[in-house]
Structure formats: C-alpha cells, structure tokens
Amino acid sequence: MFNIILFGAPGSGKGTQAKLLADKYNLHHVSTGDLLRSEVTTGSQLGLYIKSIIDQGNLVSDQLIFRVLEEYIIRHKDNTEGFIFDGYPRRECQCAALSGILSEWGGDVNLVLLLEVPEEIIIKRLLNRANLEMRVDDNIETIKHRLDIYVETTMPAIEFYRKWHELRLDTYGKKNGEFHAIDNSGDDIFETFNAICKVIDSIKS
Ligand code: ADP
C-alpha cells in the first residue's frame, strides 16, 4: 500500500492533482469534502445537518468525519494500491486517527505533500470556482473564514507531519514517511503534477 496525504489551502488545487495522481498510480482518491457533499445530496437528516456546517465554512466534528472516512476505507481497501487523502486530516487530532486506521491493515502514511499557493491567488481561484460550480461556500466571506480555519486548525496538522518527517523514526524505530512542499501558484497543472511525480517515483524506486 502507498498512502499519500495532500495538504493545501482551499483552492490550492488538491482535488485536481489528486485525480491525476490517483489515475497514474492506481490510488483511490478520498476527498472528504466530496464524501460529505454526496451525503448532502441524499437529502437525509444527517445530510441537512452537514450542509448547514459546510455552507458556513466550518468543519464538521471529528467523530462524524472519521466515521465517513473509515467506512470509505473499509469499502475500498481491497481493490486499491493505496489512498490519496484530500481533506483529511484537517485537525491535528485527525493525524493519529488516520495512522490508527491505516495501521489496522498494515498501512502507513508514506508521503505528505503540501501544495503552496499565495493567498491572493487562492481567493481569485475560489471566486472563479464559485461562478463555475455554484458552491455555496465559495463566496468571499466564507472563503476568508475557511482560510482562517486552514491557518489556525489545519496548519498545526501540517507542522506535525513536517516534524514527524524530520524526526525520521517513530517511537518504535519505524521509518517515518516523506514530507514535500510543492509550489502550485502557476497556471500549468501539469508542471505541478510532474514535480509531484518526480517525488513519488524517487520514493517508490
Ligand atoms: P476546500 O478544500 O475547498 O475547503 P473541501 O471540499 O475539501 O473544500 O471540504 C468542504 C467542507 O467539508 C469543509 O469546509 C468542511 O466543512 C468539511 N470537511 C472536509 N474535510 C473535513 C475534515 N477532515 N474535518 C472536518 N470537516 C471537513
């Protein structure tokens, strides 16, 4: 199993890169945002509750997102060479939860990627996406709120993995995975994709 976590602010291009990577390396793309939105479209009571949280740009509870994620992993683990996580972890406590569930099947986090994009470009891209996809959470006020949550809540999770990689070995002497930050401020998605592929190929070879 080869498991990747893809970090980046909302609008940094995680979904686009995750799809390309999933195709090339036979991985399953797990977008927690998409999983939640698909629950919303069922119109269930839970879906309505999730919608009210997402529309305001807030995070759903750790228990709820973990349940959704766990169910997805269990359903797909036997027919994939690994997962690419897009949207999880988003809080520091979710890092341990992810390692816990992967280790149940002998898996681990092999690579952590951070897509770096300056805030002005992020805001432009998200406003553009709002026109194309009509996402209720892509308006200027909610975008700013999601960016604040990213800085305050998700960045500590990213720093956890940066340090985890620098430590090299975990408490049991097992080698920790790689951490790489990749610039994704340009307009050419394949330039970024190729840079990521180089990193993956160097780890896998
Ligand atoms: P973006 O990356 O553009 O902010 P996503 O599609 O990844 O959007 O996620 C949409 C929403 O789904 C988030 O704003 C949040 O409400 C919810 N969500 C997704 N992943 C998580 C998570 N790991 N923990 C809590 N809430 C989450």
Residue ranges per domain, the chain? 4-31+81-204
pLDDT tens for residues 5-23? 999 999 999 999 999 999 9
- Whole-number Å distance, alpha carbon 135 to ligand 1 midpoint, is 12
With a cut of 90, say whether residue 95 has pLDDT above it. Answer: yes
Q: What SS3 class is residue 26?
A: coil
CA distance 173 to 127: 46
CA distance 91 to 150: 9
What's the predicted TM-score (pTM) here?
Answer: 0.94
Q: How many CB atoms lie within 10 A of CB 195?
A: 15
The CATH code of the domain at 4-31+81-204 is 3.40.50.300
- Name 85's bridge partners: 5, 30
- Whole-number Å distance, alpha carbon 46 to ligand 1 midpoint, is 16
Q: How confident is the model at residue 106 (pLDDT cuts 50, 70, 90)?
A: confident
Residue of 17, 59, 144 best suited for mutating to test ligand 1, as the one with most atoms within 8 Å of CB = 59
In the chain, % helix, strand, coil (3-state, to 5) comes to 60, 15, 25
